[in-house]
Structure 1
Amino acid sequence: MVRYEVTVFTADMATATTFNNVFLKLVGTDGESERTLLVDDKGCASFFKGAVSSFSVCCPNSIGKLVLIEVDKQHLPPFLEDSWFASKVEVKSPEGDNYKFPIYRWIIDSKVHRFREATALRVFEENHHLGRNSRQQELKQREEDYRWDAYVGGVPHTMKASHPHSLPDEVRFSFTKKAEFSYTASEGMRELKLKGLDDCKENWTDIYAINRVFCCRKTDLSEYVQQHWKDDAFFGYQFLNGVNPILIQRCTALPNNFPVDHIRINNHLRGPHGLQDEMKKGNIFLCDYKRLDGVKPNTINGKKQYLMAPLVLLYSTPEDSLVPIAIQLKQTPADDNPIFYPSDSEYDWLTAKIFVRSADFNYHQLNTHLLRTHLLAEVFAVSLLRNVPMVHPLYKLLIPHTRYTLQINLLARLLLISENGFFTNFASSGGEGMITILKKSLSSVTYSSLCIPDDIAERGMEAVPNFYYRDDGLRLWDIIHRFVQGILSYYYKKDDEVQQDSELQTWIRDIFEHGFLSQAGTGIPQRFSTVDELVRFVTMVIFTCSGQHSAVNCGQFDYGGWMPNAPTTMQCPPPTTKGTTSEATMLQTLPNVDATVQGMAIMWLLSKRSSDFVHLGHFPEEHFREEIPRRLIKDFQGELEVLSAAIKTRNENLVVPYTYMDPKEVENSVAI
């Protein structure tokens, strides 16, 4: 008789405890153990939250090298069947070998669940029939659990699910996350109801009355925005370091549909050089919202709304400020589409900037935020879960970057962009316009635009000063790239190993088909031929799900907590002639009270970090067991610490600190 020492770890998280009987079977290359009831002197406390419990499993003879374990639990009266979150199982064999079996999921039924030993194996390395069968069974079940669904034609496919409870337990919110998310949402709306603001359809009659909304829920930056939202320098700064830093590009030639008055422009340039000279020097920049052109605006409270497609010309001054020097609010030049300049009347210029900020809000939410982080992250996650088993090194590398993504996206479809969602009811791009923008945006997404080094170069943004999104993003990309290269190069020594890994190839084909709708023009690979190609793509996936999402999400309340800086909609058309604006017309044009409060409540919710936040580089779940990958993780964490310290030091000297790419502030996944 030989004895195997088994240690079972229950997660230290709310509701992880089970009172059910837990059974274990060890399966090895030379045999298997009996299905064994795990009992120790702790009794029913063996599988309490945070428990680490040891057991013995005996066999007549050694069963060889362990391949997998089978785990099931059964309830006995008076206890009902409950849910158990097991972290991992460790086994010491009679030969003295140590095995680790990562689980990290809920076991909610009485079925038998199989888990592989933690050593990573690619599909072509599976030499034992038990491993091959387990791999096939796992993927077959995952194909059933994670099904593709076409939410609407022309946009990335999503996971088929109708309600959070229809999601597999392993991808749902934790009890803590669910409770905090629900509380934050209900608390905000309760406050607005008590103030009588949530269903008030009147216009604002005083700009400072907006302070009544969430008067006690402010950030240092949201207060700064309220004080400086009218300033040209702050208006320009937001194109670099606000929540939509991916639109601005260097302007080397004016678009044909933007016939600015060179004489008036030259009056706003510092120094002796004219517009053409400043463009040659790289000091002129353009923001073009052309993808909003032709979008049918929403109707809110029975009233037609307005959504412009502006062009904005900006100038980098000798003092390193970025300031607007011309704004055209519609794409087609016309007598009733004037170009506004800083020398125009106060409210002409301010109104033009507000229309731009409203366009930016809608463009950011649907393209920069929803499409390019949330929807793509869901595609990456579903394809991973359908096609890559737990024992695969890619799964081990990417699974931390999928946490909560499927549920937060499902909630977005149910609460934000549904028929009765926030966007449909309170944003000028809601309804039909939302789908139009998403379709247009997907057709413009390229692989290079998702890779920040290429994107910065293509937009000519390498040299513009005070571009902290660029500075921090490039450093973060490089750190992630080195980490990914280290991990994947450990498992893939040669290009042909990548080529023969059928699970890798199925993963990328699924992404190409379901995420980018088989559009070859995007540049998204349809297969991997080299290790370098694989490394670059996986780097992009991790960066998109962590740093990029943080950059375009976490500042939403900072920059939108003062509504005039980020209006969800505009109630009146833009001025067709100059000199017709005033404070009164501005207030009539801004969103009314209920649209304002609903927008601010949503931005507060989406900017609120939960207490079980997991920052980039922190991996509570131990999926890797080999020494080199574990060392690479520590090196990765060390580099992130250095970057975080550098960002904090830099921010000490900034009036407006930029924190969204600080690894300590970046979540591992799209989780909010």
Structure 2
Amino acid sequence: MTEYKLEVTTGDKQYAGTWDHIFITLFGTEGQSERTELDNFGIDFATGTTGNYTMSTNLSLGKLLLVKVEKDPFLFLPEDEWYFSKIVVTTPEGEAILFPCYRWISRGELVELRGGRALKAFEEDHPMLIDHRKRELILKKSFYQWNILAEGLPHINSFTKISEFPDDIRISKSKLTEFDDVQMQTGIELKLKGLLGSHEHWESIEDMKKIFWWKKTTMSEYVTEHWKEDDFYGSQFLNAVNPNAIKHCSELPPNFPVTEEMVKPFLEEGSSLQEELKKGNIFLSDQKMMDGIRPRVYNGEPLHVTPGLCLLYVNPENKLMPIAIQLHQQPAELNPIFLPSDPETDWLLAKMFIRNADCMDHQAAEHLLKTHYMAEVYAVATLRSFSAIHPLYKLLFPHFRFTLHTNTRSRKSIFGPEGAFSKSSLGYEGLTELMIRALSETTYSSLCLPENITARGLESVPNFYYRDDGLNLWNIINSFVKAVVGYYYPSDSEVRKDTELQEWISEIFTHGFLGNTASGFPASFDTVEEVIKFITMLIFTVTGQHAAVNNGQFDYYSWVPNGSIVLRKPPPTAKGQSSMKTILETLPDVDLTVRIAAMVWLLNHKFTDMVHIGTYPEERFHEPAPKQMIKEFQSELSDLSEAISTRNLQLEIPYTYLNPTEIENSVAI
């Protein structure tokens, strides 16, 4: 008799264990074992446990190829799903082979696991494995399909109901419970205060400080006290939630006729606008992309969207200061250029309308489109194109945890026609058009942070912590990806003949970037370097970039005067005609204000099951080399975290969003 030792691990998720009967069949090059029930004395397959079993065969099975797992009912109990993590099989020759699963298993479900070294398709050398891989990919393509949300947007997954998702990509029950509890508690507080459902104007700015009893952060309190200040306003273009809105300005656009006389008082004494342009101290935020998009109708009248221009100046104190604002693209008598020397409420209103456009650009283009929807494209393409034994599937799958569920849910509750963002100045249709325009202008290099920073001329702007931390994080991710990809692809020829890899990037190019060759996105790979760069961009996008545009929403948006997705009154068309009453009437009503604050509190809630960047709790790699690479990746992330924390001790406004301790490993909320 020949004995195989089995270590079977049940996950530690809620309700992961099972009472059902579990049967195992081993398949090798020399034959297969009997279908054998795993049954020890006492309770088997309890949550978070590992059971040890012995299987006997008449002869050695040769090289072990597959493990088949079956689940039969125990007595007459109802369906009892089992979260099966992994099985490690030790052969008679003493080789311990990992067969990862990490998914929920139902009765009657066919589960065949591949184990051992990660393999590309052309490396398969046994007919059984070649056939298994082919059947696996056919099944995946039939299950994960593409759907079109709107012409001109990235394609999405085809599931319309959360119940259709397989459990291994569905948000955990514990997280959903926590999510609902936070939402319920917030709603109760706002109802008790009589704020939810109130369509009254705010009577004073001070009243807005009373929205929540305890829900606040150090940063949200800072914003509440400093939102009117120009230096703080300018700093948000660098280190708040939309750090991609500005670029270096060496020459004023012809439609922004700022004169020397207008801005001279705000420049260094004795200097001029032309001199500061030459020195590289002038920057521009230009929201021309939303020009001409029809706004939402509110109370029978269209709201107002200002695709404005904001000129900024790095002063001798290294502070980025707004020095001129034009609220519409074309200069006109009713479209004056506002200045810091204008009446206080005029200047404040001008800044608020610029911020309103910036908020919509942030939420629609930078947050939803370029992180959530891009992550969904990468996830669906990965699930369709790669076998579970492929090294890139093992590397990438943890970076898509909950993404499909999160996006499908948010398309109804947040971004759908009745969702929270539909109440913005642009409304659902306007934001959709904004995303379509944004995708048409998105380039591959714009999603690669080092190239993005260079293209916008922001290499030397001071106090740009998003850039500093982001580039450090990019380099750490790149080093990790280079090690893993280089290990599995020792030559360019291996890249070219990997059919699953080529199909993967082709699907991303077709369904994510709609075949736009002008975007610079690859439709195929020829070299190892190309693969390394693309996967670096992908992992940075779903981890660091998402954190940068997501994690500060409560900090900067819960105080709605600092940045609102909707403003009710028209923008000022002349100077000297506004007051604080005008500002209060321009801000959202009480109900919408508190709904915005409640939404961003929920979006920035730190859930107890958060998985941080660099953390791979599911053991998918069998080989020691990638396991060591992960440890080195984690060590470098830890060093970066320590450096960021040390620097932040010296800052009045700490920048925390790209600290690895604050970054989730996937777009999971």
Q: Shorter-chain-normalised TM-score: which range?
A: over 0.9
1:615 equivalenced with 2:649 (yes/no): no
1:624 equivalenced with 2:621 (yes/no): yes
| SS of the residue 1:46 aligns to | coil
| SS of the residue 2:113 aligns to | strand
Aligned 8 A contact 1:201 1:301 in 2: no
1:529 equivalenced with 2:526 (yes/no): yes
Residue number among 341, 344, 354 corresponding to 2:342 in the alignment: 344
Q: Which residue of 2 aligns with 1:327?
A: 325
Q: Which residue of 1 aligns with 2:177?
A: 179
Listed one character per residue, the Cα deviations across residues 391-427 of structure 1 (whole Å, up to 9, x for unaligned) are 0010011111000101110111011122211122x21
Q: Which residue of 1 aligns with 2:374?
A: 376
Distance 2:52 2:99 in 1: 15
Distance 1:104 1:303 in 2: 53
Q: Which amino acid aligns with 1:536?
A: K
1:52 equivalenced with 2:50 (yes/no): yes
Q: Which amino acid aligns with 2:31?
A: G
Per the alignment, do residues 133 and 301 of structure 1 end up closer, same or farther by CA in structure 2, a change over 3 Å counting? Answer: farther
Aligned 8 A contact 1:102 1:118 in 2: no
Residue number among 202, 219, 223 corresponding to 1:225 in the alignment: 223
Residue number among 338, 350, 353 corresponding to 2:351 in the alignment: 353
Distance 1:22 1:136 in 2: 26
Residue number among 490, 494, 499 corresponding to 1:502 in the alignment: 499
Map 1:110-125; keep pairs closer than 5 Å: 110-125=108-123
| SS of the residue 2:88 aligns to | strand
Q: Which residue of 2 aligns with 1:541?
A: 538
Q: Which amino acid aligns with 1:617?
A: G
1:301 CA drift (Å): 5.0
Q: Which moved more, 1:187-196 or 1:337-346?
A: 187-196
Residue number among 442, 466, 474 corresponding to 1:445 in the alignment: 442
1:299 CA drift (Å): 2.3
Distance 1:82 1:141 in 2: 24
Residue number among 256, 269, 272 corresponding to 1:271 in the alignment: 269
Listed one character per residue, the Cα deviations across residues 597-618 of structure 1 (whole Å, up to 9, x for unaligned) are 1111111111111101010111
Q: Which amino acid aligns with 2:218?
A: D
Distance 2:550 2:389 in 1: 32
Distance 1:301 1:192 in 2: 24
Q: Which residue of 2 aligns with 1:460?
A: 457
Distance 1:24 1:88 in 2: 13
Q: Which amino acid aligns with 1:570?
A: L
Q: Which residue of 1 aligns with 2:549?
A: 552
Q: Which amino acid aligns with 2:70?
A: D
Distance 1:186 1:197 in 2: 15
Listed one character per residue, the Cα deviations across residues 256-280 of structure 1 (whole Å, up to 9, x for unaligned) are 1100122121121013221111111
Q: Which residue of 2 aligns with 1:100?
A: 98
Distance 1:186 1:475 in 2: 39
Map 1:16-95; keep pairs closer than 5 Å: 16-42=16-42, 45-95=43-93
Aligned 8 A contact 2:295 2:303 in 1: yes
Q: Which amino acid aligns with 2:73?
A: H
Q: Which amino acid aligns with 1:366?
A: A
Q: Which amino acid aligns with 2:8?
A: V
Listed one character per residue, the Cα deviations across residues 582-638 of structure 1 (whole Å, up to 9, x for unaligned) are 001111111111111111111111111110101011110111121211111111111
Listed one character per residue, the Cα deviations across residues 41-63 of structure 1 (whole Å, up to 9, x for unaligned) are 12xx2111101101111111000
Q: TM-score, normalised by structure 2?
A: 0.99
1:586 equivalenced with 2:559 (yes/no): no
Distance 1:416 1:387 in 2: 30
Map 1:388-399; keep pairs closer than 5 Å: 388-399=386-397
1:434 CA drift (Å): 1.4
Q: CA RMSD in A?
A: 1.0
Aligned 8 A contact 1:4 1:57 in 2: yes
Map 1:122-201; keep pairs closer than 5 Å: 122-201=120-199
Q: Which amino acid aligns with 2:517?
A: A
Distance 1:608 1:27 in 2: 46
Q: Note the residue ranges of structure 1 that are not aligned, 5 or more in a row.
A: none
Map 1:209-224; keep pairs closer than 5 Å: 209-224=207-222
Q: Which residue of 2 aligns with 1:600?
A: 597
Distance 2:513 2:402 in 1: 22
Aligned 8 A contact 1:120 1:392 in 2: yes
Listed one character per residue, the Cα deviations across residues 413-456 of structure 1 (whole Å, up to 9, x for unaligned) are 011122211122x2112122111101111011100000000000
Aligned 8 A contact 2:97 2:622 in 1: no
1:493 CA drift (Å): 0.7
| SS of the residue 1:327 aligns to | strand
| SS of the residue 1:114 aligns to | strand
Distance 2:557 2:301 in 1: 23
| SS of the residue 2:53 aligns to | strand
1:493 equivalenced with 2:490 (yes/no): yes
1:517 equivalenced with 2:538 (yes/no): no
Q: Which amino acid aligns with 2:548?
A: A
| SS of the residue 1:481 aligns to | helix
Aligned 8 A contact 2:241 2:552 in 1: yes
The share of aligned pairs that are identical, in percent, is 47
Q: Which residue of 2 aligns with 1:669?
A: 666
Distance 1:222 1:302 in 2: 34
Q: Which residue of 1 aligns with 2:309?
A: 311
Q: Which amino acid aligns with 1:34?
A: E
Aligned 8 A contact 2:73 2:107 in 1: no
Listed one character per residue, the Cα deviations across residues 375-397 of structure 1 (whole Å, up to 9, x for unaligned) are 00000000000000110010011
Q: Which amino acid aligns with 1:36?
A: T
| SS of the residue 2:185 aligns to | helix
Distance 1:188 1:449 in 2: 37
Listed one character per residue, the Cα deviations across residues 179-231 of structure 1 (whole Å, up to 9, x for unaligned) are 11121222222222222212111111211111221232000000000000000
Distance 1:508 1:76 in 2: 45
Q: Which residue of 1 aligns with 2:426?
A: 429
Residue number among 564, 570, 573 corresponding to 1:573 in the alignment: 570
Aligned 8 A contact 1:15 1:175 in 2: no
| SS of the residue 2:662 aligns to | coil
Q: Which residue of 1 aligns with 2:7?
A: 7
Q: Which amino acid aligns with 2:400?
A: T
Residue number among 258, 261, 270 corresponding to 2:256 in the alignment: 258
Aligned 8 A contact 1:118 1:623 in 2: no
Distance 1:430 1:218 in 2: 28
Q: TM-score, normalised by structure 1?
A: 0.98
Listed one character per residue, the Cα deviations across residues 274-324 of structure 1 (whole Å, up to 9, x for unaligned) are 111111111000001111111111124555322211100000011110000
Distance 1:300 1:106 in 2: 47
Aligned 8 A contact 1:2 1:59 in 2: yes
Map 1:275-294; keep pairs closer than 5 Å: 275-294=273-292
Aligned 8 A contact 1:551 1:660 in 2: yes
Distance 1:585 1:640 in 2: 48
Q: Which moved more, 1:450-459 or 1:433-442?
A: 433-442
Q: Which amino acid aligns with 1:480?
A: I
Q: Which amino acid aligns with 2:335?
A: N
Residue number among 384, 387, 398 corresponding to 1:386 in the alignment: 384
Q: Which moved more, 1:227-236 or 1:28-37?
A: 28-37
Distance 1:190 1:142 in 2: 43
Q: Which moved more, 1:166-175 or 1:119-128?
A: 166-175
